[in-house]
């Protein structure tokens, strides 16, 4: 199908990244077939605070790593085993890669999926020691287990109008929301958030959402 070229943000060593031509994604990770995956044309992507751990040389990230785990895109190709996602869908990609079928995924602990990283539970795109998946600070990327991983926006035109807000859904917003949920935030809570970076601001917005009485939260 598509034979377009691809470019991505490459980690070159401490303090240095470059934009380079990279391989167009395949429905595979090395020898591992990913017929359950899709190829996305990326619409938006973000630089995460945690990318800086690699870029500043604090990790063992290898030279040549394609960075980026915060991905929003449009589906341009579906693998043979994808049932519920279609070419043309606009989707948000959760940064944690998850199979949807292991014990941890079934318990909702998709951050520690057992099937996506041979070294340890849990994986992410474009991240050191997180399974070798190619990152999405690029023009195109492959997303495995598409039926389980992808959040499809139901209205394409509406999504495109707000796409630079919806880009928060891949990591920043749910990270703040998850912090509030795990802290037990609910109506009546008084919440202290240490740090007002993007995730802190998302946590503050989440606390307001979670603080609404249940009778209002459906609206």
Please, which residue, 48 or 93, has the CB nearer to Zn ion?
A: 48
Give the residue at shortest CB distance from Zn ion: 48
Q: 121: which 2 tokens? A: 């539970």
Give, in order, the Cα–Cα distances in Å from 88 to each of 16, 77, 134, 156, 157: 35, 9, 22, 9, 12
Please, which residue, 65 or 98, has the CB nearer to Zn ion?
A: 98
CB of 102 to Zn ion, least distance (A): 3
CB of 25 to Zn ion, least distance (A): 20
Query: Under the criterion CB under 5 A, does residue 43 sit at the interface with Zn ion?
Result: no
Please, which residue, 90 or 99, has the CB nearer to Zn ion?
A: 99
CB of 113 to Zn ion, least distance (A): 3
Cα-based angle 58, 64, 70 (whole degrees, multiple of 5): 70
Residues 44-103 contacting Zn ion, CB under 5 A = 48, 98-99, 102
Please, which residue, 100 or 211, has the CB nearer to Zn ion?
A: 100
- x/- letters, 109..138, toward Zn ion (CB under 5 A): ----x-x-----------------------
Query: Under the criterion CB under 5 A, does residue 171 sit at the interface with Zn ion?
Result: yes
Please, which residue, 77 or 136, has the CB nearer to Zn ion?
A: 136
For 37-51, give the DSSP string: -EEEEEEEE---TTH
Please, which residue, 77 or 122, has the CB nearer to Zn ion?
A: 122
Distance separating the N- and C-terminal Cα atoms of the chain: 43
CB of 114 to Zn ion, least distance (A): 5
Residues 185-214 contacting Zn ion, CB under 5 A = none
Residues with Cβ < 8 Å from 107, sequence gap 6 or more? Answer: none
What's the 3-state SS for 101-134? Answer: CCHHHHCCCHHHCCCCCCCCCCCEECCCCCCCEC
Q: 85: which 2 tokens? A: 């996602």
- The rounded distance, in Å, linking the Cα atoms of 26 and 151 is 21
- The rounded distance, in Å, linking the Cα atoms of 25 and 146 is 15
Interacting residues with Zn ion (CB under 5 A): 48, 98-99, 102, 105, 113, 115, 171
């Amino acid at each position: 199908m598509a034979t377009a070229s691809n470019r991505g943000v490459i980690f070159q060593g401490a303090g240095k990244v470059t934009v380079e031509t990279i391989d167009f994604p395949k429905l595979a990770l090395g020898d591992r077939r990913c017929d359950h995956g899709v190829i996305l044309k990326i619409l938006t992507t973000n630089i995460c605070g945690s990318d800086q751990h690699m870029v500043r040389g604090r990790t063992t990230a290898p030279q040549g790593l394609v960075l980026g785990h915060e991905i929003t895109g449009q589906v341009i190709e579906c693998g043979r085993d994808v049932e519920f996602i279609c070419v043309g869908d606009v989707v948000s990609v959760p940064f944690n890669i998850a199979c949807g079928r292991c014990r941890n995924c079934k318990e909702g602990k998709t951050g520690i999926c057992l099937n996506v990283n041979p070294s340890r539970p849990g994986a992410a795109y474009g991240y050191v020691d997180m399974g070798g998946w190619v990152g999405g600070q690029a023009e195109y990327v492959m997303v495995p287990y598409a039926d389980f991983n992808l959040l499809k926006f139901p209205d394409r035109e509406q999504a495109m109008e707000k796409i630079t807000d919806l880009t928060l859904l891949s990591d920043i917003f749910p990270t703040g929301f998850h912090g509030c949920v795990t802290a037990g935030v609910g109506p009546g809570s008084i919440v202290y958030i240490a740090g007002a970076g993007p995730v802190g601001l998302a946590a503050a917005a989440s606390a307001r959402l979670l603080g609404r009485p249940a009778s209002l939260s459906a609206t």
